[in-house]
A and B are shown apart, each in its own frame.
Chain A
Amino acid sequence: MSDRVEASVLEISELTKRFGGVTAVNRCSLALAPGRIYGLIGPNGSGKTTLFDCITGLIVRDGGTVRFRGRRIDGLPPHRVAALGVGRTFQVIRVFPELTALENLLVVSRRDRDGALRRARELLAFVRLDELAAEYAGNLSYGQQKLLEFVRVLMLGPTVVLLDEPAAGVNRTLLNELLAAIRRLRDEGRTILIVEHDMKVVMGLCEHVFVLDYGEKIAEGPPEEIQRDERVIEAYFGR
């Protein structure tokens, strides 16, 4: 057991969140090893985003624990979780519309303050937004905002990256860029957890998939196994 804790960079155990009478997340346990890409799937309302919110501290869980590198992070305020190295994007794009693209990145708090500007410029160049650095984020196209939000997470120098539907509303070219970028993050040793509805993306990208239904984890395993799993098919297509 102890070396399993050692091996997991993020370990969620028996996590529960209730909203009034509805149990949005019910005793969920997930363990993420470093340097891998994980998928989190499930029908609408199955608790995927709520799980992200609990991990990042935006909402306070009712039960269970979240450990990051062996250390409890449940109960920490969101900015502390972020500063430790857990970054996330949102299902609906959330850039700061009235900050410039560059400022959007500079808002992120980092340990090395002096390197922030250089890193921000590098990241903008990485997603080819360097010429739009001084443009207000609200004036960027949908795809550009999506990329901006993505690299904003990278400003944290995150160990764990939580991506909420990165492929939604994204065209082919942009999607391929994003997927390549995500793989590169993995190669750098970061751990990625992706909520995604596009099964092609999930199957092509993820090494291990968790399936939620009504807030409970009903299955997990390699994508090809998950595709054949009775309970998963049932959850998606009805009984």
Chain B
Amino acid sequence: MNVVITPAMVGQVVVSGLLAGALYSMVALGLALIFGVMRVINVAHGTLLTMGAYTTFWWFRLLGVNPYLSLLVSMPVMFVVGIGLQRAMVRRVVNAPELSSLLLTFGISIALVNGLQLAFTSDLRTVEFLTGAFVVGGVALSKSRLVAFGFALVITLGAYWFLQATRFGKAIRATSQSPMVAMVCGVNVERVHLYTFGIASALAAAGGSLVAIMFAIQPEMGQVYTFKSFLVIVLGGAGNYPGALLGGMLLGLIEQLSSLFLTTQLSEAVAYVLLVLVLLVRPTGLLGGRAT
């Protein structure tokens, strides 16, 4: 196979990669938060994203209003759903062996996906809103991806600001470093768990809403995002929150770059191969993981 790579192609790859990467970062930050604070790998994370996507789909289908406004609904709704899941189920497995939480969230995921299939069928659904692209210097910028990038960037930076600057954000970071010490400092760790799951679900939902405006959605779409988020936090270092930002961008770039050289099916596999490689060579993440 002979490919001629032009500067425009490289530009396209970088731009597309970064556009996709911001969304990965945002969604993966949710998974990283839950893992960091509770040491729970939430396999249902992608399914929460799917629920956000359907919220946007129905918002647009039923109300016909600008689908980007649906983030104002999907995020709070999934925040509450997340708190409900934590309160009813996940909190029971926080200190249990990892397999328990893996099985529980896997079960939650199956139940939710089947619920979505029953309610909305497995048909592919689309939100036809923002189509077309700007072309700048030979690089095509899909409008919907550009807007999604903007939203993802603002929401992700907002989440980092929250973690960095607010009292509750500090409590979340302290809890993920040492729950026991956080407790004796007067931090209500159960409450931190509750809101962390809520925030993580809202981040997933935001991802879902943005995805729904770009691609066709169906109830099983979430699994890919669970997997990609997992890869992002492995790349960035589990429990390292800024690492999620880097990991997301990196995954976006790698995916796009491999699509330059490989067929679509093969380039999908690159992420999986990468996961295995990173786990083998650098299991604490590219940034080196936690100092503790």
- Interface flag for B180 (CB, 8 Å): yes
Assess whether A58 is in contact with B291, with CB atoms less than 8 Å apart.
no
Which residues of B171-221 are within 8 A (CB) of A? 171, 173-174, 177-178, 180-190
Given known A-B contacts A94-B178, A97-B291, A113-B167, A82 and B173 have beta carbons under 8 A apart? no
CB distance from A115 to the nearest CB of B (A): 13
Chain A interface size, under 10 / 10 to 19 / 20 to 34 / 35 or more: 20 to 34
Task: Determine the distance from Cα of A107 to Cα of B290 in the docked complex, in whole angstroms.
Answer: 19
Flag A171-199 by CB within 8 Å of B: 1 or 0 each: 00000000000000000000000000000
Is A99 located at the chain interface by the 8 A CB criterion?
yes
Closest Cβ of chain A to B120, distance in Å, is: 42
B186 touches A156 (CB 8 A): yes
B185: which of A57, A107, A136 is its contact (CB, 8 Å)?
A107
| Inter-chain contact A97/B183, CB cutoff 8 Å | no
Q: Is B170 an interface residue (CB 8 A)?
A: yes
Contact A107 B187 (CB under 8 A): yes
Q: Which residues of A contact B189 (CB under 8 A)?
A: 79
Report whether over half of chain A's contact residues are helix, strand or loop; otherwise say mixed. Answer: loop
- B292 / chain A contacts, CB cutoff of 8 Å: 97-98, 138
Q: Judge whether B184 and A96 touch: CB under 8 Å.
A: no
CB of A109 closer than 8 Å to a CB of B: yes
A77 at the interface (CB under 8 A from B): yes
CB distance from A177 to the nearest CB of B (A): 23
B170 touches A82 (CB 8 A): no
CA distance A197 to B187 in the complex (A): 30
Contacts A77-B190, A82-B184, A110-B186 supplied; 16 other A-B pairs, CB < 8 Å: A58-B184, A78-B183, A78-B184, A79-B187, A87-B184, A88-B184, A94-B178, A98-B173, A98-B177, A103-B173, A107-B170, A107-B174, A107-B187, A138-B292, A156-B185, A156-B186
Q: List 23 A-B pairs, Cβ < 8 Å.
A: A58-B180, A78-B180, A79-B189, A82-B184, A82-B185, A87-B184, A94-B180, A96-B173, A96-B182, A97-B291, A98-B291, A98-B292, A99-B170, A99-B173, A99-B174, A99-B177, A103-B170, A107-B185, A109-B187, A136-B291, A138-B292, A152-B185, A155-B185
